[in-house]
Structure 1
Amino acid sequence: MNSSPLRRLPFLLLVLGLSAYAAEERPLLSLQPEVARPGDPVLVTVRGLTQAPTGTLGERPLRFYPVREGFQALSGLPVELTPGPVQVKVSAPLLGGTAPVELTGKLDVVAAGWPARTLKVANKFVKAKPEPEVQARMEADKAAFAAAFAQSFAPPLFGENFAWPRQDSITAPYGDLRTYNGKKQSQHFGTDIRGATGVPVYAANTGTVVMTRDAYASGNTVLVYHGAGLYTAYFHLSATDVKDGARVERGQLLGKVGSTGRVTGPHLHWGVKVDDLWVDGETLLKLDFGGAPAVTQREKE
């Protein structure tokens, strides 16, 4: 005997309810920024998972850490990257032994249009072959930076978005192409912020001080590790107010603007390093670590 439509109604509602629940729980991939330039940091968020996924940004592997409702990974785009689409692939394991869900996204990378400038510095900073004592100091600096940047990967130490280390105009953006004394060429992997000698410099976010050092090129330097493979650097300080190993909070005093190291005048050089790449700090400031808007995404059948 066939059941009446009214008797089948609760079952139909249950099925519809389960379908709606399953749709809501399907993992979602989102990317920040939606349109990027070479040298930008990129935040990848996957929501709706209980186990850590794996994935890649272009050819770079992603390292995910847990966040509310899912997982995030922070990586970067090399400055030499050719503009065009960059694929993001994430393999998301599901509970119950089911096959993993493969999520894909596309990040549009546009030309950077780096500015170029000519600068004049002391001749000792552009010598093809530095004096032996200078070379020894530079090698020691290189080793100290490498040790500071070798922190174990860990979840973020911060719970807020990033803030400017000081409020003032930018005198040189990330990525500009420089010629020193008419011959030595390099690219600027930081953001120069105007400031008179002695004005305060603050931590861009919560983290641990992993190096304070008077280095030959960067002068008095502070490096802060924020977890998630992310560091911020503060160069050319006239004085430092923190010590190695100290935990600092967002907005805490780190030191004071100066003109130590290879500089043309007092300013703060603020650098951001993600996953072993120096990236654009201005883009980092725009990333929302609490919520990521959905962008192009596709689930493989």
Structure 2
Amino acid sequence: MHIYSLRRLPFLLLALGLSALAAEGRPLLSLQPTIARPGDPVLITVRGLSEVPTGTLGERPLRFYPVREGFQALTGLPVELTPGQVAVKVTVPATGSAAPRELLGKLDVVAPGWPSRTLKVANKFVVKKPAPQVQARMEADKAAFAAAFAQSFVAPLFGENFAWPRQDRITAPYGDLRTFNGKKQSQHFGTDIDGDPGTPVYAANAGTVVMSRDNYAAGNTVLVHHGAGLYTAYFHLSAIDVREGARVERGQLLGKVGGTGRVTGPHLHWGVKVDDLWVDGETLLKLDFTGAPAVTQRDKE
């Protein structure tokens, strides 16, 4: 297995090498990011194929969709994953007289180093047994989220890379280990972005709104389905400016920063969900869905 890296070869030579391999009809497997942490989204690209491949990242099955010159699959790494190497296996289907082949790779996963913090919220959000009316509302919220995240798998509804939903100071990154009011412990599965109440929040990419709703803990919420098993979430809004079912484009206004739900102050909680896993949105922003991959691997001769 040959590995080509932008860190080791000039970009021009790499591009020429990839073009030559593609011209020979040899499938090319690439991974983004090249070094990951538990909780990261991972983009797998296979170029030089005309038939849909199958594959796995660790124990997670990959769902491929067509892109220019091949296929891609987007998945995530569980937050509880032990650091080390994760195997990537893609099976190239048989074509004509050619037998099926396998593309094999490894993804290096490093320790996340998540910080810990103590937060103070209203006591009603940390009681062990909520009042019946609160419990009923929380169950309704749970059902609404499940329905929103149950969209059929489709090819990406976007044609660009992802962008920040707003530009401001990050007050809490993905993965924070939290203690609320000295009692309730949890992990933060989103990125908190500072903002004054009423400042705009924009769609990180094109997609379809699958939730526009006031929830107990998340407050005023917008969920956008982007295809490819990918969703972005926007919590604690003071106002919502889109309706469920609406098609939105990257940079379109979704709502305004607020302090609704379980919060310590006004901010945007931005979440990213891939294949039923909440993943790190900052890593999603670094993935290139349209250009040349950073590391490419090819199958054995």
**Common topology (TM > 0.5):** yes
The number of residue pairs the alignment matches comes to: 282
3-state secondary structure, aligned to 1:138: helix
Aligned to 1:245: 245
Is the contact made by 1:236 and 1:260 (CA closer than 8 Å) also made in structure 2?
yes
Aligned to 1:28: 28
State the AA in 1 paired with 2:56.
Answer: T
Is the contact made by 1:30 and 1:292 (CA closer than 8 Å) also made in structure 2?
no
Shift of 1:24: 2.8
Shift of 1:250: 0.1
Aligned to 1:15: none
State the AA in 2 paired with 1:184.
Answer: K
| TM-score normalised according to structure 2 size | 0.91
State the AA in 2 paired with 1:238.
Answer: S
- Residues 202-281 of structure 1 aligned to structure 2 (within 5 Å): 202-281=202-281
Decide which structure has the larger Cα Rg and report it: 1
Aligned to 1:47: 47
3-state secondary structure, aligned to 1:95: coil
Shift of 1:97: 3.8
3-state secondary structure, aligned to 2:104: strand
Please provide the CA RMSD for this pair: 1.3
Aligned to 2:155: 155
- Residues 77-116 of structure 1 aligned to structure 2 (within 5 Å): 77-116=77-116
Deviations 1:209-252 (A, max 9, x none): 00111000000000000000000000000000000000000000
| TM-score normalised according to structure 1 size | 0.91
Shift of 1:93: 1.6
- Cα distance change of structure 1 residues 95 and 294 upon mapping to structure 2, 3 Å threshold: farther
Within 2, Cα distance between the matches of 1:105 and 1:294?
14
3-state secondary structure, aligned to 2:52: coil
Unmatched segments (≥5 aa) in structure 2: 1-19
State the AA in 1 paired with 2:207.
Answer: G
Within 1, Cα distance between the matches of 2:261 and 2:71?
40
3-state secondary structure, aligned to 2:24: helix
3-state secondary structure, aligned to 1:140: helix
Kindly, what percent of the aligned residue pairs are identical? Answer: 84
- Cα distance change of structure 1 residues 23 and 208 upon mapping to structure 2, 3 Å threshold: closer
Q: Does 1:59 align with 2:80?
A: no
Aligned to 2:9: none
Within 1, Cα distance between the matches of 2:98 and 2:257?
56
Within 1, Cα distance between the matches of 2:294 and 2:287?
13
- Cα distance change of structure 1 residues 101 and 138 upon mapping to structure 2, 3 Å threshold: same
Is the contact made by 2:28 and 2:296 (CA closer than 8 Å) also made in structure 1?
no
Aligned to 2:11: none
State the AA in 2 paired with 1:151.
Answer: Q
Is the contact made by 1:138 and 1:216 (CA closer than 8 Å) also made in structure 2?
yes
Within 2, Cα distance between the matches of 1:76 and 1:103?
19
Shift of 1:297: 2.9
Shift of 1:291: 2.3
Aligned to 1:9: none
